[in-house]
Amino acid sequence: MDLKERIRLKKADRTELYSEEPPFPYSNFLLELSNICNHHCIFCAHNKMKRKIGKMKPEMVEKALREAYELGTREVGFYATGEPFLVPELPQYIKLAKDIGYEYTYLTSNGAMATPEKIRAVIDAGLDSIKFSINAPERKMYEFIHGHDDFDKVCEHLKYLNEYRKESGRNYKIFVTGIITRFTEPMMDMYQEKFGDLTDEIGFKFVYNQGGYMPEIDHLLRCPCDHEERRRCNLAFDAICVTCEGYLSVENADYENMLVVADLNKVSLKEGWYGEKMKEVRRMFLNDCLEGTLCDGCVHHKQAPAEPLMPELATKNDDIFNDKIVRMRIKKAGYDYSKLIYVPMSADIVHPGHINIIKTAAKLGRVMVGLFSDEAIRTYKPEPFMNYEQRKTVIENIKGVEYVVRQETKDYEDNLRRYQPDIMVHGKDWREGALAEVRQKAIDIMAEWGGEIVEPDYTKGISSSVLKEKAKAAQ
């Protein structure tokens, strides 16, 4: 099977797989030997991962390899969220797989750590193919995408892979793939010119919401030619993904273990693969009802609240949907991008003034409403009529609002620093009085990263306070 066919099958319509108990996978078996990586690719959720860095225990590697083989798996890949060449035991794990009987062993690497010595070690251990993920075909763009100036080094390592194949006489495959973003889409033709003589095959993937952890890809990195509305995914039916902790996950890019369905330290691989939690996930896919999971955002190209499948095994990360890292990197490089607009409000009684503010903000970019918590409102206003969740439901359904986040105090500092919006929109009513000092502080904070504050005219003749007074008087 060639590289392009492997890529195609991950999204292909494969009706023979779609059941609660599909055949155990023959291939598509990945072991996350470690979740540490030496690069910071702009499209990768590793940049905001909070899961503890670790390595898979040797006994778990052997357990997973032997149990999968006994169930019929014959191909295994040694990579997931981390860089495999950072794992010293990589060659011995490859040899173990070949000794057990695996017909095809493979790995994906960014190539920067694939020194000649390490290449010889994995090839001599029996590796059948190696794929370099090179996500730009020239040095300047490569550094922007990968976060490291390793392009020339990677090219040298790729050349050595070819030299050692001739020297050793081993018939391993050499592949190059590129994750294509809007920045590199015009460069796709350059891949063949640069790498055509150094690889058996070049494959491309359009950048996508990686495991559900990167919804910002759709508005910051997605290729203009990519009009996909629903992303088919076969992973729940045809992939074994074992994390470095020894958990079975639905997704090999599960950075916070939010898609884990079994702890293989406690149950067998067979029990995990055919267990009730995995069946539950398959039913969700079969019914296209993924609400509440990370998969929903990935499959349907949207940003939606998500909870872990097994909270006790996941790492809490409140910044999963925070696009600050990607947005600031694009901004620093001087490229155009969709700006984030922060709009603070209490919105206890929504009136035309709120709508005018949101309309103004929506013309500037993507609107994030910083909705005051009940506690924050109580520090300077009477008890709110509606609680936070009720107000949130109203605001997130107003046209033009893309995100609603909680603001815990009437001071904006915490949220401004956390999200680093490009623009904050606030009515002119805070220029004088009690909020004047808060306004100046917000201006100073925003200036730290080149942000600005836009102050539309205050909508005259209406305010929440006046409406509340009238409501009380009418009682």
Q: What is the pLDDT of residues 340-356, one digit of tens each?
A: 999 999 888 888 888 99
Confidence check: pLDDT of 475 > 80: no
CB 258 within 8 A of CB 306: yes
CA dist 386 and 383 (Å) reads: 9
Question: Quick one: pLDDT at residue 305?
Answer: 85
Strand partners, 33: none
Q: Render pLDDT for 86-101 as a digit per residue (tens, 0 to 9).
A: 999 999 999 999 999 9
pLDDT band at 472 (very low <50, low <70, confident <90, very high): low
% the chain with pLDDT above 90: 83
- Give the domain ranges of the chain: 3-313, 339-474
CB 210 within 8 A of CB 251: no
Q: Render pLDDT for 414-468 as a digit per residue (tens, 0 to 9).
A: 999 999 999 999 988 888 877 788 899 999 999 999 999 999 987 665 565 555 5
Question: Quick one: pLDDT at residue 470?
Answer: 54
The side-by-side arrangement of strands in the sheet containing 29-31 is 201-206, 173-180, 129-133, 104-109, 75-77, 29-31, 240-242, 247-249, 260-263
Question: Quick one: pLDDT at residue 432?
Answer: 82
Question: Quick one: pLDDT at residue 29?
Answer: 98
Which runs of E-coded beta strand occur in 121-267? 129-133, 173-180, 201-206, 240-242, 247-249, 260-263
pLDDT band at 201 (very low <50, low <70, confident <90, very high): very high
CA dist 447 and 337 (Å) reads: 19
Question: Quick one: pLDDT at residue 463?
Answer: 60
Neighbours of 25 (CB within 10 A): 21
Q: Which two tokens stand for residue 28?
A: 């598509």
Of 370, 302, 352, 344, the C-alpha closest to 455 is 344
Confidence check: pLDDT of 215 > 70: yes
CA dist 104 and 376 (Å) reads: 59
**Burial category of 339 from C-beta neighbours within 10 Å (exposed 0-12, middle 13-18, buried 19 and up):** middle
Question: Quick one: pLDDT at residue 454?
Answer: 96
* Crossing angle for the helix pair 90-100 and 58-70, to the nearest 10 degrees: 30
Q: Render pLDDT for 119-144 as a digit per residue (tens, 0 to 9).
A: 999 999 999 999 999 999 999 999 99
β-pairing, 247-249 vs 260-263, is: antiparallel
CB 462 within 8 A of CB 433: no
Confidence check: pLDDT of 245 > 70: yes
Of 395, 49, 36, the C-alpha closest to 407 is 395
Of 301, 303, 391, 297, the C-alpha closest to 344 is 391
Question: Quick one: pLDDT at residue 246?
Answer: 98
Confidence check: pLDDT of 474 > 60: no
* Crossing angle for the helix pair 116-125 and 151-168, to the nearest 10 degrees: 40
Neighbours of 100 (CB within 10 A): 14
Mean per-residue pLDDT over the chain, rounded: 93
Q: What single DSSP character describes residue 22?
A: P
CA dist 70 and 235 (Å) reads: 20
Maximum mean pLDDT: which of 3-7, 337-341, 425-429: 337-341
Confidence check: pLDDT of 77 > 90: yes
Residue ranges of the alpha helices (H) in 182-302? Answer: 188-195, 217-220, 235-238, 269-273, 276-286, 294-300
CA dist 14 and 16 (Å) reads: 5
Q: Render pLDDT for 324-335 as a digit per residue (tens, 0 to 9).
A: 999 999 999 999
3-state secondary structure of 327: helix
Question: Quick one: pLDDT at residue 435?
Answer: 79
* Bigger pLDDT: 34 vs 305: 34
- Distances, alpha carbon 173 to alpha carbons 76, 110, 115, 365, in Å: 15, 16, 17, 46
Q: What is the DSSP string of 86-121?
A: G-TTHHHHHHHHHHHT-SEEEEEE-STT--HHHHHH
Question: Quick one: pLDDT at residue 87?
Answer: 98
Confidence check: pLDDT of 12 > 80: no
Question: Quick one: pLDDT at residue 461?
Answer: 55
Confidence check: pLDDT of 28 > 70: yes
Q: How far is CA 313 from the centre of its chain?
A: 19
* Bigger pLDDT: 372 vs 475: 372
Question: Quick one: pLDDT at residue 469?
Answer: 58
**Burial category of 475 from C-beta neighbours within 10 Å (exposed 0-12, middle 13-18, buried 19 and up):** exposed
Topology, domain 3-313: TIM Barrel (3.20.20)
Domain 339-474, second-level architecture:
3-Layer(aba) Sandwich (3.40)
